[in-house]
Structure 1
Amino acid sequence: MSSDLDPGSTIFFTLSIDGESLGFFNGCEGLSSEVEVEHRQEGGNNGFVWQLPTRVTFSTIRLTRPLTADTATVAAWISSITTGVQRPTAEISALRADGSLVARWGLLDVLPVRWQGPSLDPANPSVATEVLEITHHGFTDVEGE
């Protein structure tokens, strides 16, 4: 089976903020949205209840990776929040092991909300990982598609 069609092939992710790369990540969770629905009953109509959309919410996105030199770029972005909140656009791309694009998501008004560094314990020789959590105000079209 061709790697272009193999759904089991290894996927990794890239994150860029206003075109500046924050590097590669091997885990990405939370690319989702939910439409809240308000239920309205119409007098005299017992056949159904109106379900009206009210608000769209977007979950926090959690990106994970082994500790790399790109951690400094993430730290610089998070530190920039202390000098004034700017909410840039972002792009998350899912790539196959050969670097070919699987999917791409554009995000509006991105803000880093949490960074977790590695736990360094000599008794536990596991890979040192970092976690970056970002929030956003919705999805947008990605240029070049």
Structure 2
Amino acid sequence: MFFNQSSLIGNYRFMVEIGNLYVAGFSEVSGLTVETEFEEYREGGVNDYVHKLAKGTRHVPIVLKRGIGYSTELWDWHNDVVAGRIRRLSGSIILFDDRFREYRRWTFNDAYPVKWIGPDLNASVSEVAIEQIELVHNGFKLR
């Protein structure tokens, strides 16, 4: 298969929308993964292959990383979950092309945070303090 390498889209132009939370400046997004689990079944007398039967599909948690800012919206959202007040929000991860036009959109549904990681602080380096939040969700769609 031949393709034009100039048509590839960079992975550094993206934006994240989460419900009514206006939390910009994510430096990294991971977890756009869908995995179909399967079970192996060996049939008696058939020795040259193993049947692979689909069991179900799972969506791994989405992990968002960003530099610490003045907003505490992500912390507050996670803290509500810790207190038993689960607020499910839907959102999108939007990838832009080189002209900043929307190229792809992954829309996830009914997400809520299950893990928040604060920054590693080290006075001997001049890196940005990064917070991380992990969201479970009920799947996403590609548009």
- TM class by shorter-chain length? 0.7 to 0.9
Residue 98 (structure 1) shift? 5.6
1:1-145 to structure 2, matched below 5 A, reads 5=7, 7-8=9-10, 10-17=12-19, 19-42=20-43, 48-70=49-71, 72-81=72-81, 82-96=83-97, 99-140=100-141
5+ residue gaps in structure 1? none
Inter-CA distance 122–43: structure 2 relative to 1 (3 Å threshold): closer
Identity of aligned residues (%): 26
Q: Does the Cα contact within 8 Å between 1:40 and 1:49 map onto a contact in 2?
A: yes
The number of residues matched between the two structures is: 137
Inter-CA distance 40–20: structure 2 relative to 1 (3 Å threshold): same
Inter-CA distance 10–108: structure 2 relative to 1 (3 Å threshold): closer
Q: Does the Cα contact within 8 Å between 1:12 and 1:24 map onto a contact in 2?
A: no
5+ residue gaps in structure 2? 1-5
Describe the superposition over 1:53-86 as per-residue Cα deviations: whole angstroms up to 9, x where unpaired.
111122122111222234x111221122224223
RMSD of Structure 2 on Structure 1 (CA) = 2.8
Q: Does the Cα contact within 8 Å between 2:94 and 2:105 map onto a contact in 1?
A: yes
Looking at structure 1, the residues matched to 92 and 130 of structure 2 have their Cα atoms a distance apart, in angstroms, of 22
Q: With the length of structure 1 as denominator, give the TM-score of the two structures.
A: 0.74
Q: With the length of structure 2 as denominator, give the TM-score of the two structures.
A: 0.75
Inter-CA distance 50–99: structure 2 relative to 1 (3 Å threshold): same
